[in-house]
Amino acid sequence: MKKIILLIVCTALSIGVRAQSPVGAWESKSISESGDTLRSVVIFADGYQVLTIYNASNGKFIHANGGTWKLNGDVVTEKREFHTDNAALVGTEVSFKIAMTHDSLTIVGSKRKFRRIDDGKPGVLQGAWLMSGRIMDGKVQKRDTSVARKTMKILSGTRFQWIAYDTDTKQFLGTGGGTYTTQNGEYAERIEFFSKDETRVGLRLKFNYALKAGDWEHSGLSSKGDPIHEIWSIRK
């Protein structure tokens, strides 16, 4: 009888993991050796993900890695496209078991437990995007998204992050992210971390945006104050 009950429980847990999706944003917090609170944020979009660690109080960037992911039962397999600490890991795969409910995600065998921030809603821009062009002086300048050097932007329902990197050279070029909203044609960001310039942490940027033939266009002023008009294409 006990074996039957155990089998039922294990089967129910397995079905529960398969039924849940990690798509969205997750966070966990830890304390560094110096006593600082570190925030780890993971964004899962369809097929792509990024994990970032930064100081929760001042936004100091610490680490990022990510790439593609897939879920088979309760096992997540990631293939790294960028890694700030060890370029040799770019192109390698790592697999690990997870235990997941709607609100929590735990990496089995570790102390890492994440709390869900959102499930991909309400963001109309949720997904992984590649910069595919710019509009300058009214002319479209296309960018080949199949090349090794990429600028990818991953959005959940409430969080965004861009990452610039090169999978051939395994070079990490920069990243920044935080929270965002979309309302009445306006896309607004609040920067929580920025790897190249910590003085930009806390900035609030507003852009005009529109979805045109599946592409995302937005225009406004960059964090440097320069005018931009970018085109992003959903990553296949």
Q: In the chain, where are the structural domains located?
A: 22-118, 127-234
pTM: 0.90
**CB pairs under 8 A, 24+ apart, for 136-142?**
136/229, 140/231
pLDDT score, position 58: 95
CATH 1.10.760.10 fits 127-234, yes or no: no
pLDDT bracket for residue 19 (50, 70, 90)? low
Same fold for the domain at 22-118 and the one at 127-234? yes
Interval 188-201 mean pLDDT: 96
Q: How confident is the model at residue 8 (pLDDT cuts 50, 70, 90)?
A: very low
CA distance 45 to 53: 18
Beta-carbon contacts of 179 under 8 Å, excluding residues fewer than 6 positions away, are: 158, 159, 160, 189, 190, 192
The mean per-residue pLDDT over the stretch 36-41 comes to: 97
Residues 6+ positions from 90 with CB-CB distance below 8 Å:
80, 81, 82, 83, 167, 170
Q: Report the pLDDT averaged over residues 54-74.
A: 97
For residue 44, what is the enclosing H or E element?
A: strand 37-45
Please name the CATH architecture into which domain 22-118 falls: Beta Barrel (2.40)
In this predicted model, which residue has the larger pLDDT, 5 or 53? 53
- CA gap 231, 210 in Å, rounded: 10
- Residues of the chain with pLDDT > 70, as a percent, come to 92
Asked if residue 215 lies in contact with residue 132, where contact means CB atoms within 8 angstroms, the answer is yes
Burial class of residue 226, CB neighbours in 10 A (0-12, 13-18, 19+): exposed
What is the rounded CA–CA span in Å between residue 230 and residue 153?
A: 12
- Structural tokens at position 67: 């790439």
User: What is residue 157's predicted lDDT score, i.e. its pLDDT?
Assistant: 98
Residue 127 clears pLDDT 50, i.e. is over it: yes
Q: What's the one-letter identity of residue 90?
A: V
Residue 16's pLDDT band, with cuts at 50, 70 and 90, is: very low
